Amino acid sequence: MSRTPAAALKRFLLAAVLAISCGACTPQQQLLMSLLPDGTIPVFLSNFQQVGDTNRRRIAEFEQRRDWDGLVRFAEENVKLDKTNSDWWIVSGYAYSQAGKRREAIASYGEAIRITPEDALAWNLLANSYRLDGQPERALQVVDRALNINRNTPATWILQGEIYSDLGRFQPAVGAYQEALKLDQGLGQAWLGMGKAYARLGRNAEVKEVAKVLENLDPPLAKELAASTAR
């Protein structure tokens, strides 16, 4: 894997999309990262145009070293210089999240939303921060507000499905995954989540249909679905 600053920044943005909050890559974190469809990274790179090239390289260097406290300080310095720059609040939230400071991360993402309330990325980051903090009901409230603003972001629907599943509300989880698939039939994570929700509902015929789709779309996810339903 390339270790160039540009590649490191891409990894930073990939992780930031769903606020992955610890260094080791667990199966759940891999699952969260897979919410991003192909071609998403260039979009998020363009969304960070308010951060200059020099600072992008600095962010990438902190990420590469996994120096989260250093990134926190760097983000705080830049937030003080321009408190109206939502990009820096997102960087701040990500840094706090990686440093294990979830309350501070939540506050930073909330500020990003206050500045740019139409930003789906900031909403998803905030919702997932509440989810990781063990507050799924609050996370669900945030996702619902995000969907009132923008219903065309598949990752938001998938995140809603994951939160409903956390809460044991599998029928609405199925509905959320279906909404994501209306926007993009190729989202393997939506199919996987829906298959797991169907399994918890005892709808075995639907699980088999989802498994067929995943076998063609994403065989590793098909194996994951099979393993989860075999337990």
With CA atoms as reference, report the closest residue to 211 among 200, 77, 227, 129.
227
Q: pTM score, two decimals? A: 0.77
228 residue type, one letter: S
Close Cβ partners of 131 (under 8 Å, ≥ 6 residues apart): 139, 159, 162, 163, 166
Tell me 37's DSSP state.
Answer: P
CATH of 151-231, one of 3.30.70.1340, 1.10.390.10, 1.25.40.10, 3.40.50.300: 1.25.40.10
pLDDT at residue 14 tops 50: no
Q: Tell me: the pLDDT tens digits for 134-163?
A: 999 999 999 999 999 999 988 899 999 999
174-196 average pLDDT score:
95
Which CATH architecture does the domain made up of 1-29+37-124 adopt?
A: Alpha Horseshoe (1.25)
Tokens of residue 34, six digits: 């897979």
The residue ranges of every structural domain in the chain are 1-29+37-124, 151-231
Tell me which of 212 and 230 has the higher pLDDT.
Answer: 212
With CA atoms as reference, report the closest residue to 165 among 20, 31, 19, 37.
31
Q: Tell me: the pLDDT tens digits for 37-83?
A: 333 333 343 455 566 677 777 887 887 788 989 999 999 999 999 89
Rounded to an integer, what distance in angstroms lies between the CA atom of residue 131 and that of residue 159?
Answer: 10
Report percent pLDDT > 70 for the chain: 77
